[in-house]
Amino acid sequence: MFEPSFKKGLLAVLVLCFLVQSVLVYTDHVDLELSAKAIEGRRLYHESACQVCHQLWGQGGFLGPDLTNAASRVDETRLVSLLTVGSGQMPALSFNPRQIDQMNAFLKEIDRRDIGGGELRMGDPSTGTNVQEAFESAIIDLVPPTGTAAGFETFRTGMCKSCHFPFQTSIVGAPDLSTTGERLSETELIEVLTSGRPEAGMPPPVPELSTGQIDDLISYFFWLNANRAELEGDTHARQEDRTVNWRSLPWWEYR
Ligand code: HEC
Ligand code: HEC
């Protein structure tokens, strides 16, 4: 199915990921001091495979919620019930009172904002914004004129944004549409928005766009281009305090 050179490339990428991960783990100087009881809790966490369904600092499985700050949310009565009879898709684990106490200590001691919050890699859950959402709220705050706003709405609610990302070319090669106004004429834009460029990875829009929708999309792209600098600055400002400082995250849980 794949070319041999592609397989080699893929293998090289996987090996590189492994090396980067190993370096991060072994050069980790973030010291999260845990009490003896919490260390027992951490052992139970791994032995009971909690990480298959839960994340710590955003890493792990995604069936259940991130547990980095669970101690602030889950009281002890609920924890007892979770670790004995389970809840929803969380299985019954029949922890005894000593084990519950250890797990409780572990969850309490890792719940430290100065070390890092949960779900970091998915953005701060309290604001619920990722790059895309920051970009969209920047657009809304700039109050585009009516036709442009309708074009933005067509773009935002269609499949478009699964391939086109703000201010960058996405991995599938979909270009940054805020600079399209400099590259393409109106005629060329109509052509792309009608037939796509299937050979280059841009599918013909489904459902087909009406003439009115195409007009609005085009005015949106030109407006985007005219306001690019301001929108880009605003998008980054909204993202600013949400970047993850990788060095400050503890990697020890994988040791
Ligand atoms: C098979 C997947 C699975 C495993 C394994 C699992 N959980 Fe869960 N856990 C869940 C799901 C799903 C929920 C959400 C349950 C609900 O909302 O009713 C949950 C909820 C929780 C919550 C409440 C979190 C909150 O914010 O409300 C805690 C605490 C918790 N689990 C701890 C653990 C611990 C500790 C372990 C290991 C001993 C574990 N879980 C193992 C799936 C799992
Ligand atoms: C499956 C991914 C995908 C989807 C969905 C998609 N595009 Fe594209 N789009 C692309 C790719 C890839 C290109 C670059 C094609 C090329 O290199 O000629 C592109 C090119 C374009 C261009 C030309 C940009 C330029 O500067 O050359 C426009 C305009 C465009 N897309 C608009 C849209 C709109 C509007 C939608 C939603 C209705 C949409 N696209 C949905 C992948 C996608």
Question: Coil, strand or helix: which one is 172?
Answer: coil
Q: Which residues contact 116 (CB under 8 A, 6 or more apart)?
A: 57, 68, 248, 249, 250
Q: Can you read off the two tokens belonging to residue 1? A: 């199915």
pLDDT for the residue 81: 94
pLDDT for the residue 167: 93
Residue from 171, 202, 217, 219 to probe ligand 2 pocket by mutation (most atoms less than 8 Å from CB): 202
Q: What is the 8-class DSSP label of residue 58?
A: T
pLDDT for the residue 125: 43
pLDDT for the residue 119: 56
Positive or negative, the CA dihedral 140, 142, 148, 151 is: negative
Instruction: Output the CA 181–ligand 2 centroid distance in Å.
Output: 13
- Distance, CA of 191 to CA of 232 (rounded, Å): 27
Q: What ligand has the least distance to the C-alpha of 165?
A: 2
Residue from 52, 54, 79, 51 nearest 66 by CA:
54
Could you list the mean pLDDT of each consecutive 10-residue stretch along the chain, which spans 255 residues?
Answer: 86 93 77 89 94 86 87 92 92 94 95 70 49 86 92 91 90 92 95 94 91 96 96 85 62 52
Which residues lie with the beta carbon below 6 Å from any ligand 1 atom?
Answer: 45, 48-50, 52-54, 63-65, 67, 70, 73-74, 79, 82, 87-91, 93, 103
pLDDT for the residue 113: 72
Positive or negative, the CA dihedral 88, 127, 173, 162 is: positive
Question: Coil, strand or helix: which one is 60?
Answer: strand
162 lines ligand 2 (CB under 6 A): yes
- Distance, CA of 65 to CA of 217 (rounded, Å): 38
Please, are residues 75 and 104 in contact by the beta-carbon 8 Å criterion?
no
Instruction: Output the CA 65–ligand 1 centroid distance in Å.
Output: 7
* Pure H helices in 66-130: 70-73, 76-84, 97-110
pLDDT for the residue 124: 47
Domains of the chain, each with CATH number or no CATH? 35-128 (1.10.760.10), 131-234 (1.10.760.10)
pLDDT for the residue 122: 47
Instruction: Output the CA 54–ligand 1 centroid distance in Å.
Output: 7
61 lines ligand 2 (CB under 6 A): no
Question: Coil, strand or helix: which one is 174?
Answer: coil
Please, are residues 244 and 220 in contact by the beta-carbon 8 Å criterion?
no
Q: Which residues contact 141 (CB under 8 A, 6 or more apart)?
A: 234
Reduced to 3 DSSP states, what percent helix, strand and coil does the chain have, rounded to the nearest 5?
Answer: 60, 5, 40
Q: How far is CA 157 from CA 160, 189, 207, 231, in A?
A: 8, 19, 12, 20
Residue from 163, 183, 195 to probe ligand 2 pocket by mutation (most atoms less than 8 Å from CB): 163
Element (H or E) spanning 156, and its range?
A: helix 146-157
Residue from 153, 161, 192 to probe ligand 2 pocket by mutation (most atoms less than 8 Å from CB): 192
